[in-house]
Amino acid sequence: MRSGKTVLFAIGIYWVTSVTVVQDAIAASGTRLLATELSITRLQYDGGGDWYANPSSLPNLLANIVERTSLPISQKLKVVKLADPALGDHPYLYMTGHGNVSFSDEEREALRNHLVSGGFLHADDNYGMDESFRREMELVFPENDLVEIPKEHPVFHTMYEFPDGLPKVHEHDGNAPQAYGIFHEGRLLVFYSFESDLGDGWENAEVHDDAPEIRELAIQMGVNLYLYVLGQLIS
- Assess if residue 177 is contained within a domain: yes
Share above pLDDT 90 across residues of the chain, in percent, rounded to a whole number: 70
Identity of the highest mean pLDDT range in 6-10, 20-24, 115-119, 203-207: 115-119
Q: pTM for this structure?
A: 0.87
> Which stretch of 130-134, 168-172, 176-180, 183-187 has the lowest confidence by average pLDDT?
168-172
CB burial string 158-171: b at 16+ within 10 A, e below:
bbbebeebbbbbbe
- Assess if residue 4 is contained within a domain: no
How many domains, in total, are found in the chain?
1
| DSSP secondary structure letters along 5-23 | TS--EEETTEEE-SHHHHH
Euclidean distance between CA atoms 168 and 31, whole angstroms: 36
The reported pLDDT for the residue numbered 127 is 85
- Assess if residue 210 is contained within a domain: yes
The reported pLDDT for the residue numbered 32 is 47
The reported pLDDT for the residue numbered 17 is 38
- Assess if residue 1 is contained within a domain: no
- Assess if residue 2 is contained within a domain: no
Q: Please provide the average confidence, as pLDDT, over all residues in the chain.
A: 86
- Assess if residue 3 is contained within a domain: no
- Assess if residue 168 is contained within a domain: yes
Confidence of residue 231 (pLDDT cuts 50, 70, 90): confident
The reported pLDDT for the residue numbered 233 is 79
What is the CATH classification number for the domain harbouring 65?
Answer: 3.40.50.12140
What range does the domain containing 91 cover? Answer: 9-233
